């Protein structure tokens, strides 16, 4: 099958890196990078680090509001899809690049394959929720990572073309984690970042959701991060450029105890999560990775699409929103400083992370399927 994959953001580059090699072993892939993320640390680094092939098309569309960004992507994608004439367009997740890829393809009658289909936060204020609902309803193949995602699709009347394949990001994490398991990996990372990092001796954080970029929310989570850090246990915040810009715009300064660093590469991020005392995040990807690694995690949101990760965490993953008292109490419970180092060392030593097999399942499902008729899809 000839497949155009549309990516654009950091997590999509990472997901494409988990799938691309398997996909290319069976199918012809044309990679389109919308350019939604464009900084070296947000995008370029992943091509080199994860062996992702260079894109065949890079329209370079980043920044701007949602309508402008999505509209420009649609304008750019349509002629690419017409010229490439694929049997299917594959989109990942829930970003504006996903929405534009799915919509441009569907309007041309090209079947859409949606990876990470069926996730719902049931919060339509989130741009991601709108994007994923539209992509799921346009898709011919809904590749769902979890049972809850399959159930969500069923509740919306989507059953045909739904396949539970597992989580593609788990495939990648399982492949890479052996390279960062030894706590000695912290030394070069710490030297590069100018931080003294020891197992369990820091907290790793990321924040980038739109809901966490308004001034009141930023005041609240910066406060949570400040309260979470101690002189001997700093918070290391890998700061998304959009969040950095929002903090600047609102004139909000991070507490001195919070050590903000640039966005990091995939291996470094996995290493920082594995060896941290705890993770504080609003990221879907980081939330799951911390669950697979077994690191305690406070989610700086009120809802999550990854209900299984929370349910399966043995109460070590907790949604705390922006509630400072709750965050402090939960952090003290899940990552008490006195035992954090022993816990981190034991976690890394005993970690067994199996691949989910999602890449193979997606590739096989696409190979099994006849290209659906133009304009219809399999549903
Ligand atoms: C997007 C996705 C979100 C995903 C996240 C992953 C949408 C609606 N949101 O959010 O679902 O979780 O990516 O990280 O698609 N910026 C830079 N350099 C970059 C990238 C972004 O400076 O390389 C700054 C710009 O100020 C930009 C802002 O970040 O305007 C927001 O970027 P955008 O891609 O629109 O949304 P994200 O918040 O990154
Ligand atoms: N990530 C990374 N560097 C960072 C922060 C995150 O490589 O500085 C990785 C993280 O390990 C995960 C993915 O990016 O694999 C998650 O992407 P992000 O948080 O941007 O988006 P989300 O998953 O919330 O859509």
pLDDT tens-digit profile of 14-64? Answer: 999 999 999 999 999 999 999 999 999 999 999 999 999 999 999 999 999
Atom index in ligand 1 nearest the CA of residue 62 equals 34
> What confidence score (pLDDT) does residue 370 get?
56
Give the pLDDT band (50/70/90) at residue 376.
very low
116: Cβ below 6 Å to ligand 1?
A: no
Distance (Å, rounded) from C-alpha 170 to C-alpha 123?
A: 25
φ, ψ of residue 21 to 5 degrees: the values are -65, -45
Q: Which two tokens stand for residue 60?
A: 């370079």
10: Cβ below 6 Å to ligand 1?
A: yes
Atom index in ligand 2 nearest the CA of residue 238 equals 8
pLDDT (tens digit, 9 = 90+) per residue, 169-216? 999 999 999 999 999 999 999 999 999 999 999 999 999 999 999 999
**Mean pLDDT, to the nearest integer, of 118-123?**
97
**Domains located in the chain, CATH noted:** 2-167+356-368 (3.40.50.2000), 179-350 (3.40.50.2000)
Q: Ligand 2 mean position to 255 CA, how many Å?
A: 23
What phi-psi label fits residue 149: left (phi over 0), alpha (psi between -120 and 50 degrees) or beta?
alpha
Task: Match 């049931």 to its residue by tokens.
Answer: 122
**Mean pLDDT, to the nearest integer, of 322-349?**
97
**Mean pLDDT, to the nearest integer, of 117-122?**
98
Per the model's pLDDT, the better-predicted residue between 378 and 202 turns out to be 202
**Helix, coil or strand: residue 373:** coil
**Mean pLDDT, to the nearest integer, of 71-77?**
98
- Active-site residue 208, yes or no? yes
Give the pLDDT band (50/70/90) at residue 371.
low
Atom 7 (ligand 1) nearest CA: 95
Q: Ligand 1 mean position to 37 CA, how many Å?
A: 6
307 pLDDT above the threshold of 80: yes
Q: Ligand 1 mean position to 10 CA, how many Å?
A: 9
Atom 3 (ligand 2) nearest CA: 264
pLDDT (tens digit, 9 = 90+) per residue, 56-70? 999 999 999 999 999
**Mean pLDDT, to the nearest integer, of 289-302?**
98
Torsion on CA atoms 282, 34, 45, 348, rounded to nearest 10: 40
> What confidence score (pLDDT) does residue 379 get?
43
Percentage of the chain modeled with pLDDT above 70: 97
User: Residues 57, 208, 240, 275: which is the catalytic one?
Assistant: 208
Q: What is the pTM of this model?
A: 0.96
């Amino acid at each position: 099958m000839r497949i155009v994959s549309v990516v654009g953001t950091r997590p999509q580059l990472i997901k494409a890196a988990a799938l691309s090699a398997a996909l290319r072993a069976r199918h012809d892939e044309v990679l389109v990078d919308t350019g939604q993320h464009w900084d070296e640390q947000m995008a370029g680094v992943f091509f080199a680090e994860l062996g992702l092939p260079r894109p065949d098309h890079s329209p370079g569309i980043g920044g701007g509001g949602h309508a402008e960004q999505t509209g420009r992507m649609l304008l750019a994608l349509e002629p690419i899809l017409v010229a490439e004439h694929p049997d299917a367009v594959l989109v990942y997740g829930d970003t504006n690049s996903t929405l534009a890829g799915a919509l441009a393809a569907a309007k041309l009658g090209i079947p859409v394959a949606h990876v990470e289909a069926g996730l719902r936060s049931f919060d339509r204020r989130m741009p991601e929720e709108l994007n994923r609902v539209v992509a799921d309803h346009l898709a011919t193949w809904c590749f769902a990572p979890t049972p809850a995602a399959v159930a969500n699709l069923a509740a919306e009347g989507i059953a045909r073309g739904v396949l539970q394949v597992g989580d593609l990001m788990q495939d990648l994490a399982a492949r890479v984690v052996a390279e960062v398991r030894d706590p000695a990996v912290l030394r070069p990372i710490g030297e590069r970042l100018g931080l003294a990092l020891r197992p369990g001796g820091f907290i790793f954080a990321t924040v980038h959701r739109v809901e966490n970029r308004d001034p009141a929310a930023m005041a609240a989570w910066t406060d949570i991060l400040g309260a979470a850090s101690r002189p001997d246990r700093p918070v290391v915040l890998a700061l998304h450029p959009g969040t950095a810009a929002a903090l600047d715009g609102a004139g909000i300064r991070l507490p001195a105890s919070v050590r903000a660093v640039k966005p990091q590469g995939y291996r470094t991020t996995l290493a920082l999560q594995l060896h941290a005392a705890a993770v504080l995040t609003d990221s879907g990807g980081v939330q799951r990775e911390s669950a697979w690694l077994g690191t305690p995690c406070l989610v700086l949101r009120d809802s999550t699409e990854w209900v299984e990760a929370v349910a399966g965490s043995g109460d070590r993953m907790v949604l705390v929103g922006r509630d400072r008292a709750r965050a402090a109490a939960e952090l003290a419970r899940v990552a008490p400083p006195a035992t954090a180092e022993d816990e981190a060392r034991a976690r890394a030593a005993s970690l067994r992370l199996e691949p989910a097999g999602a890449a193979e399942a997606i590739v096989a499902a696409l190979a099994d399927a006849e290209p659906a008729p133009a304009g219809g899809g399999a549903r």
